Chain A
Amino acid sequence: MLLPDYYEFCCRVKLIAGHDALEKIPELLAAKGARKPLIITDKGVAGAGLVDIVSRAAGKLDPNLVNDSVPPDSDLKVVHELAKLYQENACDALIAVGGGSVMDTAKGVNIVVSENATDLMAFSGVGALKRPLKPLVAVPTTAGTGSEVTQVAVIKDHDKHLKMAFGSYFLLPDIAILDSRMTLTMPPFITAMTGMDAMSHAVEACYCLQKNPLSDAHALAAVSLLYAYLPQAVNNPSDRDARLSMAIGACLAGMAFSNSMVGLVHNLGHATGSVCGVPHGLCMAILLPYGLEYNLHKREEAIAGLLLSMAGPHIYKETPEEQRAQKVISLIRKLNDDLHAKTGGRHARSLSEVKDRDGKPAVPREALPQIAQAALLDGASVYNPEETDYEDNLMVLEAAWEGKPLDRAKVKKG
């Protein structure tokens, strides 16, 4: 492996993992000197009874300080409303119980209350934060985004149809609790797509420009856990060990990409989510094979290396060197096919297969140019190994819409 001559790696999140990790919360909060946490969640998570489990394990939570108003993909306005609630009640910490939408909302709220800001937008981009924020405890209920250990928050401005990214080491939560009870209730369809989000983090971490030996170590460990346990967690939702393994896999993937950053898959995925409202995980599942194909000529060795983590030493050895990268791509496609079958078709494999709530196609072909354009506004492109312009974006989106492999001869090379 080529060692970069300079890199940074930071993951200073205290991690508690286990089948009974939640019980540790009171002690951890006390150590932070926090007495009055605001609990942020969403209706799906609260409806699944997860806040009750946290409440039972962590000692009674004040029902007035539990708020479930987070919408999918988070929301700029909700962030400001929750910040107001925090300030009016003189809270001194935040507990996020939910998936990426909830955890990222909590990060946004934390920026507003810690900086006494009137507009969260003033802190978008990388490096705008200059000092530590209030204590934040992240309790992920999906095994996907890894937001519990990332320095990133993605918050949507639903009025402008734009997903905004925030990056800073100060956005790393103080504490992350991985408890298998939190993901047992996740339906197979959500398990599948959020699991593929985690997979996309691990895989993109292996080929993006800021990769380094430490991010690689985390990413490869993540790939092997996720690849082994995702089908198991979908098949048997109440398998506690599979759930905990997925939680740890997603967390490792988060640690990896938070330092290596992500590329084309997230770049186009954020844009597809912004323009058509497709859930993030589904975008990732569909686009992941294309990210690999598009960057293959620049990152063949790194991609080929993934085969060992996915398929094990036997298949790795049996596969001729020049076919390994291609094999990785076909295994990812196969995984998507299996998840498609196991979720009664809800796990879409192409953009044309994605349905909205009313069962209508969510991504009309005519929307692809708009998505390709929106991707030019997203920072993930910087970290992608190969350049991407409007036409490149459109070419990849069209292939992903049809669900056909990318014609690699058409990828422009320098």
Chain B
Amino acid sequence: MARVREISSGRKPLKRAYVAMFLWFTGRAIQAAAKADNQVKSEFEALPENFTFSLGCLPDGPWMVVGKKNGVVKYLGGKLPEKQHVRLAIKNLDAGFLILSFQESTALATTRNRLVTDGEVPYALAVIRILDIVEVYLLPKIIASLAVKRYPKHWSVARKLKGRIAIYTRALLGL
């Protein structure tokens, strides 16, 4: 018979490190995509000035925070701000590992109540769209198809190729 075990996120250093690294890179990639991809750019333009959102794991992180100031989108590090517009919180580190290693799509994670969204719905939807686009850029098709509902076959080759190069370069260099 299975016995109930206390689960503490602190005791999973590898998972924690993977999730933290992924979040760090995604944060920088979002900052990059806000410049390199027109759709991400216009999603951010429609959001209010000082818009801030975070993605991470309950109860104690890791987190990734992205915000918009003076019209510029920036990765703001891993410390949760006091106030933010949207928080996408994954129920625990294990679920975080599942989702962020793309064994489960964001949509499915939401429907399985592993991903909890706080904030006004229209804003949260914009954040989900932005994340989906960035995932398509960051991941090879075979993996991205698992992470999003519909892999955008209809994007032009130019958008995919140019976008991917630009976003990887910018994200690595932190531009």
Contacts and interface: CB of A to CB of B under 8 A. Distances in A.
Give the secondary structure class of A's interface: loop
A410 B123 CA distance: 29
Contacts of A412: 150, 153-154
Contact of B153 (A127, A376, A382, A414): A414
Interface residues of A, number: 27
Given A125-B117, A127-B116, A379-B125, A209 B108 contact: yes
Given A261-B111, A387-B150, A414-B153, A127 B118 contact: yes
Give the secondary structure class of B's interface: mixed
A378 to B, nearest CB: 7
Contacts of A6: 112-114
A346 B37 CA distance: 46
Interface string A1-26: 00010111000000000000000000
B92 to A, nearest CB: 13
A383 interface: yes
A383 to B, nearest CB: 6
A16 to B, nearest CB: 30
B128 interface: yes
B110 interface: yes
B148 interface: yes
B113 A8 contact: yes
B145 interface: yes
B151 interface: yes
Contacts of A125: 117-121, 124
B121 A165 contact: yes
Interface string A348-390: 0000000000000000000000000000111101110111000
A235 to B, nearest CB: 39
B149 interface: yes
Nearest to A413: B150
A381 B145 CA distance: 18
B153 A413 contact: yes
A56 B148 CA distance: 55
Given A210-B111, A413-B150, 5 more contacts: A376-B122, A377-B125, A381-B125, A414-B150, A414-B152
30 contacts: A6-B114, A124-B120, A125-B118, A126-B117, A127-B116, A127-B117, A128-B118, A209-B108, A209-B111, A210-B111, A261-B111, A376-B125, A377-B121, A377-B122, A377-B125, A379-B121, A379-B125, A382-B110, A382-B111, A382-B125, A383-B111, A387-B148, A412-B150, A412-B153, A413-B150, A413-B153, A414-B145, A414-B148, A414-B150, A414-B152
